[in-house]
Each structure stands twice: as C-alpha cells, then as structure tokens.
Amino acid sequence: MIRFIISRTFQSLMVLLIMSFIIYLLLGLMPGDPIDLMVGSNPEISSDDIQRLKELYNVDKPILERYLIWITNAVQGDFGYSRLFSQPIMDILAPRLFNSIVLMSVSLVLALLVAIPAGIYAATHPNSLLEKAINFLCFAGISIPPFWLALLFILLFSVFTGVLPASGMETIGDGSVIDRVHHMILPVATLSMATIAGYTRHVSASMTEVLQNDFIRTARAKGLLEKSVLWRHALKNALIPVVTIIALDFGSLFSGALITETMFSWLGMGKTIYDAIIGSDYNLALIGLLLATVLTLTANIMADIAYATLDPRINYQKKN
Amino acid sequence: MSTRILKTQKSAFFSRFLNTSPAVISLSFLSLMILIILLAPIYEFLRAADPTRVDLFNRFLGPSGTYILGTDELGRDLMLRLLNGGKVSLSIGLITSIIVGSIGTVLGLTSGYFGGKIDSIIMRFADTIISLPLLPLLIVLTAIDLSKLGIPQTYIDMPFFSTCKIIIIISIVGWPTIARLVRASTLTVREEDFIKVALAQGYGPMRIIFRHILPNVTSPIIVATTLAIGNIILFESVLSFLGLGIQPPVASWGNMLTGAQELLYEDPKLAIWPGTLIFLTVIAFNFLGDSLQRAFRTRSIQIIE
C-alpha cells in the first residue's frame, strides 16, 4: 500500500512537472509582453531602463532557460510578484484558496446530502413517479449551463424579489456570520446543482448494480429489515465507486467553482485565475493554475487510497 | 432469410427507440429547431433583415410584429440573432462531436486491441486529461495570441478562424471519455471466437480492428458521440460567455449572454432566451443519447436470450 502511494505520488509529480512546463509555454504565448505592459504604464521610462528590466526579469533569454530559472526559484518557494496586485503571489492566493475551499466543500456536502438519498430512492423504486421526476431533474441538472443557472438565480432572488444579494462575499461594513451566509446561498446553490445531478446518477447506478448481488438476496432471505439491507449492506458497497468518482471529479468541481466565482464576484481561486489571464498577470495565472492542478492531483491520489481502504478486496501490491 | 431477420431486428430497435417518449420529443424538438435555423436566411432575405444591424433608436424593444422577440441592447433583432447563434452553436456541437468521436474511436480501438504498453500510455494520457481542472486550462488555450506563433493577424480576425480554434480546443479535451468507452467494448469483443478465427486466418491488425471489431462496437460509439454533442455545446457556451469563444459580431448562444448579467435589471429577456435554447438543446441531445443506450442495451439482451 505504501509503495503504491509513493509510486502514485511520484507519477503525479511528473504530471505536475510536465503541466508546469506546458502552462509556462502557453502563458508565454499570451498577448502582450510583461515589460511592454510596465512600459505602457510609465511614460518616463528610458530605453536603458527597459533593457535593465528585461535583464532583471530574464525576458531576453530563451524560453527553456527562463523556465529553468523560474522553476528553480519556485521550488525554493519564491513564486514572484503579481502584476495586477503588486503583491507576492502567495499573499494573494492564500486567502482566495481558502474562499474557494469554503465554497467547494459546503457545496460538496450539500450535494452529497441530497444525492445519496435521492440516488437510493431512484434505485429502489424503479418506474415510480418520483423516480421519473428524479431522473428528469438529473438530466436537467447536467444539461443546464452553470453560468445561466447563476443568471436565473440572480434574476429570481435578486432582481425580481430582492431577497438575496446578487454578488460579493459580504456587505461592506457588516461582515457578520449571518451576512456571510446570506451571500453564500446563491453561489452554493449554483455550484451544488450541477454536482447533485451527476452524483445522484452515480449513486443510483451503483446502488442498482449492488442490489442485484447475491449477498443482498441472502441478507433479505435472513429476514433482515429492508432498511438494514439497504443502509448497512447495499449502501456500503455502492458508495465505494461513488467516492472514487467524486474524488476524480474534483477537476470539474473546480471548473464549476471558476464559473460560480466569476458570476457572483466570489474572491476565490477560479475567479483569480480568470482575472489574471484576462488582465495578463502571467505570474499569478501560472501559480494559480499550478495550484489548481496540485489540488486536483491530490484529490485523485486520495481517490485511489480511499478506494483501496474502503474495499478490502483491492490489493495494489498484486496488480501494480 | 438472414436479411429479413436483420430487418426485423432493426425495425424492432427503432420501435423500441421511438417507444421512449423522451426520444420522440427530443428528436422532434431538434429537427424542428434545425429546420427553422436552416430557413432563417430565407426569412432574412424576405424581410431584408440583418442580424448584425445596429439600431440604437430601437434598443430593448418588446415583442412586436417587426421584431418577433424584440431587440437587444444594440437594437438588433433578438430572434434573428438567436437563429444565427443556433447555427453556430449547433454546427460546432455536431462537427466537434464527429472529430472527438473519430479520435476517441481510433485511440480506444488501438488501446483495447493491442493492450500492453500502448494501452497504458494512451489510457494514462486520457486519465490525466479527464482529471485536470479543464476550464482554467481551456481559458489559457483560448487566450493564446496566435500571432506569436507566426499566424498572420488577418487570418486570426476571421470569424471562421475563431470557430476552428474552439473546435480544435474542445477536441483536445473531449476524446478521452469516448476512447475509454470504446476501449472497454473492444476488450470484450477481442475475446470473441470470431476474432480468434480471423487471427488464425492470418489477417493483419488493421483489418481485424476495422472490419471485425469496429462493426461490433458501433453502439457505444453512437451513444457516446450523441452524449458528447450536448457537452460540447455546453463547453462552447461557457467559453463564448466568458468572451473567449466565438467573437462578436458573430452570434453564438454563449456570447449572447456575455453582457446579459449587467442588463438583468434592464431587460431580463436577453438572459432568458439564449440560455433556454442552450438548455433545451443540450437536454434533448442527452435524452437522445440515453434512449439510444437503452434501445441498444435491450437489443443485446434479446440477442443473447
């Protein structure tokens, strides 16, 4: 097991290294040149200064050399400065990472609280009216453009009724817990909606499959209560693939968070990355993207470990 | 005799497919919409209307005889913009799904048939793409300045070029799901006796893959490609909405919503119409894919019985 974790971690580090190079290359192809941007904001700059800046930021060197310099600094914890905010990258990203994690985890918990019962119901009551309704809602959930869902929520709850704030994380000057929760309702609702639909389908499919197993028939034949059969025998087994899918799905949760954060001006990682790319703040975009990749890869490793821990039948030593 | 059996099997498949009401509704909705979109140029010609014509004296108009759905923030005919946007969004969905389907099929067949190293390389690649936070990475890809790669600015400014760019970018990330499904089906078909016979006859891998395996894995390919259309339309709408996909003045359902958030208080219909059409189109393709899957599944069960 430990050997498996080490080898998976090593693989993920390789992916991260390759991704860092690809992203570095791609950001080098973005419109504009960081020195030009600095020059543009200062009309009194001389051509000597420009040359000096170019040397300072290594812009005159070939891309591979620049990448090597950058990664040597990055490994030592020096991520550089943000152009938009004129602050060290980590000072900007740390609080935003926290905001994103709050948004994503609350949405995730909410999604699971709805999806597990809904999925079980759909699997145990096939062809019932409610099952058909759940199924239809799942299709609607995976088909609705998330940014449009956000627009609809804003339209319904802010424009028409005015009960919930349309954007932001708190009312300026207030900042109490109630106010913050009030601002969270619409972003969380938006982000969990698409997630709920996907998760419900997974739970229901997994549960349907497990319920066809012999040990379920045995459990029923023993005269166990249906409640006990479902929750203790079936669900335990049905959740194993679901846990894996949820962890593997972390990348799309992050993509969803990017849209939600942009729509509701929620100061999280996704919005920061988007603003950094649009505002040609390459350093910030680079670190933000890599941080997002690290999060996703970590979630994937955790998925594998969870799979192995939850299901004792899986033995990684043998297969790998 | 054998063709007759095949025929009954086929018609039974279609009747099962059409028995599911979501399939019928989706199919009629999509056909009707495609028909209207194709007829739009005739309407434009007859009314001498132009979807890109700006008329600042007639902004935010409600529905009327001249403007069936009213006008937008620049006084353009909303109905015409929706039809033109639909043409763009649907063509991107259909074209990209064919590309994604072909790449996924070829890689899935290769991976499943050869196994071993080739399989693990392709699948690791696919898994990595699936697991990455795709939207931020796609945003970077769309924001690239292609003139730095030596492509002349005149090409880059062409609407056709930005459409191609979106198609390529979505194709890069879209193939893994289909490749995985095709690979899984290939693995089961590969174990069948007729493949052993083909091998024993000394056929090469190309012939076995394309003549013997491919015809037996068409159902998952069709299902996955249909489901992909919906996802691609969603992806295109998100990118265009963020201002990185189809560039105005060309309309797409996604970029029609770009300014809608600021105008929510002024004119909610601008947010409602394009989104409704994206939603209905995507859900129709998803229902279609699901019904196809059910119909195929029942068929294979009946054949086994």
Q: Mutate which of B125, B261, B269, B285 to disrupt the A interface (most A C-beta within 10 Å)?
A: B261
Question: What is the per-residue pLDDT for B305?
Answer: 45
Residues of B in contact with A273 (CB under 8 A): 136, 139
Q: What is the mean pLDDT of residues A7-18?
A: 89
Chain A residue nearest residue B233, CA to CA: A145
Amino acid at B142: T
Residues of B in contact with A15 (CB under 8 A): 128
Amino acid at B233: I
Residues of A in contact with B257 (CB under 8 A): 147-148, 151
Amino acid at A179: D
pLDDT higher at A31 or B198: B198
Question: What is the per-residue pLDDT for B65?
Answer: 66
Question: Locate tokens 């040990």: which residue?
Answer: A215
Taking only residues 217 to 236 of chain B, the set having a beta carbon closer than 8 angstroms to any beta carbon of chain A reads: 230, 234
Sign of CA dihedral B124, B125, B127, B132: positive
Amino acid at B135: L
The DSSP secondary-structure symbol of A81 reads B
Q: Tell whether the model's pLDDT for residue A49 goes beyond 80.
A: no
Tell me the shortest Cα–Cα distance from A254 to chain B, in angstroms.
6
Residues of B in contact with A158 (CB under 8 A): 264
Q: Is A64 on the interface with B (CB under 8 A)?
A: no
Tell me the shortest Cα–Cα distance from B56 to chain A, in angstroms.
25
pLDDT in tens, A283-296: 888 999 999 999 88
Q: What is the mean pLDDT of each run of 10 residues along chain B (305 residues)?
A: 55 68 87 89 76 70 70 75 89 94 95 91 88 86 80 77 89 91 90 87 88 90 92 92 85 87 80 92 93 78 53
Q: Tell whether the model's pLDDT for residue A191 goes beyond 80.
A: yes
Rounded to two decimals, the ipTM of the complex is 0.85
Could you tell me the end-to-end alpha-carbon distance of chain A, in angstroms, rounded to an integer?
10
Tell me the shortest Cα–Cα distance from A225 to chain B, in angstroms.
32
Question: What is the per-residue pLDDT for B98?
Answer: 95
Q: How many helices (H) and strands (E) does chain B have?
A: 11, 0
pLDDT higher at A303 or A43: A303
Q: What is the mean pLDDT of residues A201-206?
A: 90
Residue A220: count of CB within 10 angstroms of its CB: 15
pLDDT in tens, A139-177: 999 999 999 999 999 989 888 887 788 777 777 766 678
What φ, ψ does residue A37 adopt, rounded to 5°? -65, -40
Amino acid at B16: R
How far apart are alpha carbons A55 and A48 in whole angstroms? 11
Q: How far is CA B159 from CA A278, B42, B77, B253, in A?
A: 21, 22, 20, 15
Could you tell me the end-to-end alpha-carbon distance of chain B, in angstroms, rounded to an integer?
20
The DSSP secondary-structure symbol of A158 reads I
Nearest CA-CA partner of A8 in A298, A206, A306: A298
Nearest CA-CA partner of B216 in B190, B193, B240, B238: B190
B256, B81 Cβ separation under 8 angstroms: yes
Question: What is the per-residue pLDDT for B299?
Answer: 65
Q: Where are the alpha helices (DSSP H) in A29-145?
A: 34-40, 47-56, 63-75, 89-124, 129-143
Nearest CA-CA partner of B267 in B42, B71, B50: B71
Confidence band for A320, pLDDT divided at 50, 70 and 90: very low
Contacts of A54 (CB under 8 A, 6+ apart): A35, A60
B135, B234 Cβ separation under 8 angstroms: no
Residues of B in contact with A154 (CB under 8 A): 261, 264
Cis bond leading into B249, ω under 30°? Answer: yes
Question: What is the per-residue pLDDT for A252?
Answer: 85
pLDDT in tens, A92-118: 888 999 999 999 999 999 999 999 999
Question: What is the per-residue pLDDT for B22?
Answer: 82
What φ, ψ does residue A290 adopt, rounded to 5°? -70, -40
Contacts of A238 (CB under 8 A, 6+ apart): A123, A203, A206, A207, A209, A210
As beta bridge partners, residue A81 has: A88
Question: What is the per-residue pLDDT for B6?
Answer: 55
Q: What is the mean pLDDT of residues A69-77?
A: 82
Long-range contact set of residues B151-160: C-beta below 8 Å, sequence gap at least 24:
B159/B246, B159/B247, B159/B250
Residue A283 burial class via C-beta count within 10 angstroms: exposed 0-12, middle 13-18, buried 19 and up:
buried
Sign of CA dihedral A147, A151, A154, A157: negative
How far apart are alpha carbons B213 and B30 in whole angstroms? 32
Contacts of B79 (CB under 8 A, 6+ apart): B67, B68, B69
Listed in order, strand segments (DSSP E) in chain A are none
